[in-house]
Amino acid sequence: MSKLVRMISTDGTLTVIAADTTEIISEMQRIHMTSRVTSAALGRLLTAASMMGAVLKGKDSSITLRINGEGPAGSLIAVSDNEGNVRGYVANPIVHIPLNDKGKLDVAGAVGKDGTLTVMKDLGMKEPYIGQIPIVSGEIAEDITSYFAVSEQIPTVCALGVLVNRDNSIAVAGGFIIQLLPTALEDTIDQVEECIKGIPSVTQMLADGMTPEDMCHRVLSTFDLEVLDTSVPEYKCNCSKERFTKGLLTLGKDELLDMANDPVTEVKCHFCDMKYRFTPDEIRKLAEKI
């Protein structure tokens, strides 16, 4: 069970959200058959999306993170609803590159550094909010921090981690995001920086059996924290045959009539690998609607 918790300091100066997304990232790996480094890259992006989505207000709101750094993985996309339920995909799920100079999976090498991180928030208004920043490191956590600083002017500390076993299964995955509130005091940021000096990595904390709540207390050890809310997010896709039918309609009449000659038309969801089949009769009926 993946778990997410959001806490606030009792002095009202900051919030922290932490997540254990091990099961979500395991499910992602099962669906997309990602190699180790792409599991780490997409796993970090999905974890960030889940935490950023969980704070959105409004039942039908969603957030989409897209990072494209011209690396061998191609673009990566993660979408979350307002409960932190996520789905995502990576253009090239199988990337094999050497470990980086720290002996870790080279996420920045897979993602690339020459491109942008785009954040799209659909809050159910007419126009979605779109923020875009140049990629800072391609390691994703730094890029998320930069997004918050540049696009939302919120001082943020973000850490993300995915530990992948030799057999490609996911050992642990999770992260945290600390954000100062407008009520932050002058020394709040110093206090946060003091706290996070020398803390263990996210994967180390999770491997040690810490819950997201434990992580919040460990990371912000000198703050008094109280729980705002918790959720149990999942890897969840919202695709349906109806959605794909709408997509097919955008192809136009000629294309559809052409497709009706095929014995069967199969479309596959990028996010969950679900396949939807349309008979020539169904395709012809769609063409007639146009």
- Identify which of 175, 230, 235 has the alpha carbon closest to the alpha carbon of residue 201: 175
Residue 270 Cβ vs Zn ion, minimum distance, rounded to whole Å = 7
- Identify which of 149, 176, 146, 144 has the alpha carbon closest to the alpha carbon of residue 16: 176
How many helices and strands (H and E) does the chain possess? 10, 12
Q: Is 18 strand, coil or helix? A: strand
The whole-angstrom separation of Cα 42 and Cα 110 is 10
From the number of C-beta atoms within 10 Å of its C-beta (0-12, 13-18, 19+), residue 178 rates as buried
Nearer to Zn ion, 76 or 160 (CB): 76
- Phi, psi (deg, nearest 5) at residue 132: -135, 135
Nearer to Zn ion, 241 or 253 (CB): 241
Q: Give the residues lining the site for Zn ion (CB under 5 A).
A: 237, 239, 269, 271-272, 274
Residue 267 Cβ vs Zn ion, minimum distance, rounded to whole Å = 10
Residue 287 Cβ vs Zn ion, minimum distance, rounded to whole Å = 24
Nearer to Zn ion, 199 or 274 (CB): 274
Nearer to Zn ion, 216 or 269 (CB): 269
Nearer to Zn ion, 18 or 272 (CB): 272
Nearer to Zn ion, 7 or 272 (CB): 272
The whole-angstrom separation of Cα 204 and Cα 200 is 6
Residue 138 Cβ vs Zn ion, minimum distance, rounded to whole Å = 27
* CA 93 to chain centroid: 15
Residue 157 Cβ vs Zn ion, minimum distance, rounded to whole Å = 33
Q: How many other C-beta atoms are found inside a 10 Å radius of the C-beta of residue 105? A: 22
- Identify which of 149, 178, 187, 174 has the alpha carbon closest to the alpha carbon of residue 8: 178
The whole-angstrom separation of Cα 121 and Cα 242 is 24
Residue 243 Cβ vs Zn ion, minimum distance, rounded to whole Å = 8
Nearer to Zn ion, 46 or 108 (CB): 46
